[in-house]
Amino acid sequence: MAVINGVETRLPDGTDKKPSRIQQRNRGRILDAALEVFSQHGYRGATLDQIAETAGLSKPNILYYFDGKAEIHVTLLNQLMETWLDPLVTLDPKGDPLEEILSYVQRKLDMARDLPRESRLFAGEILQGAPRMGPHLQSDLRPLFEEKCAVIQNWMDQGHLTQLDPRHLIFSIWATTQHYADFATQVQVLLQDDPAGHEGAATYLTTLFTRLLTP
């Protein structure tokens, strides 16, 4: 496979050489449009026509770059996985425990604000039973999750943090941060004219996890 931007890329003709500038540009446009459409309407709700129009290309042209709707979705999901796991990868066993976790929370919250489409794409996939991503959860997410749980468990055993189940701790970090992207519609209705916005959530979550984890 050719590797473009660190991502495996199948060329339209199936061969394996350097993609032209046009290919890079158009594949990029398609993936961006698909992210927009898939995250808004879900896999089944999204149509190739919508993606094509959003990308500014014709439908057959899109199928020149990708083998089908499913391949676009899978490509998006694969690309996303890396971005999504990155904040957890960054969690440093050698750093200060509380500081590390708080900055992990912060990074996840920033992602909910800056990449809401990605968050919703991911949420929609999991919500429907991860039909196109189950394997990735097993092979990519799970080992990382277990590694970092062990790190946190260590910190707790050494008395740097409250004794808790690290697995549920991580779940609660994911849940509380992604909530602001995945349930944005609801949040907006309920926070209507709040000037604090993102800051309000950041302050609250910092307090929450500080109080929870400070021994």
Partner DNA sequence: GGCAAATTTTACCATTTGGTAAAGACACGA
Partner DNA sequence: TCGTGTCTTTACCAAATGGTAAAATTTGCC
Chain contacts with its own copies (rule: CB under 8 A): 40-45, 120, 123-124, 126-130, 134, 137-138, 141-142, 145, 162, 164-165, 167-169, 171-172, 174-176, 178-180, 182-183, 185-187, 189-191, 194, 200-201, 203-205, 207-208, 211-212
Nearer to DNA, 70 or 127 (CB): 70
Partner from its own copies, DNA, none binding residue 132, C-beta < 5-8 Å depending on class: none
- The 10 Å Cβ neighbour count of residue 185 is 8
CB of 158 to its own copies, least distance (A): 19
Question: How far apart are the C-alpha atoms of 109 and 140, rounded to whole Å?
Answer: 22
Nearer to DNA, 56 or 159 (CB): 56
H or E element: which one contains 78? Answer: helix 69-90
Q: Which of 42, 26, 37 is nearest to 123 (CA)?
A: 42
CB of 113 to its own copies, least distance (A): 14
Vertex 193: Cα angle to 187 and 104 (nearest 5):
45
Q: State the residues that interact with DNA by CB under 7 A.
A: 12-13, 19-23, 26, 46-49, 57-61, 63-64, 68-70
- Name residues whose C-beta falls within 8 Å of residue 110's C-beta, 6 or more positions apart in sequence: none
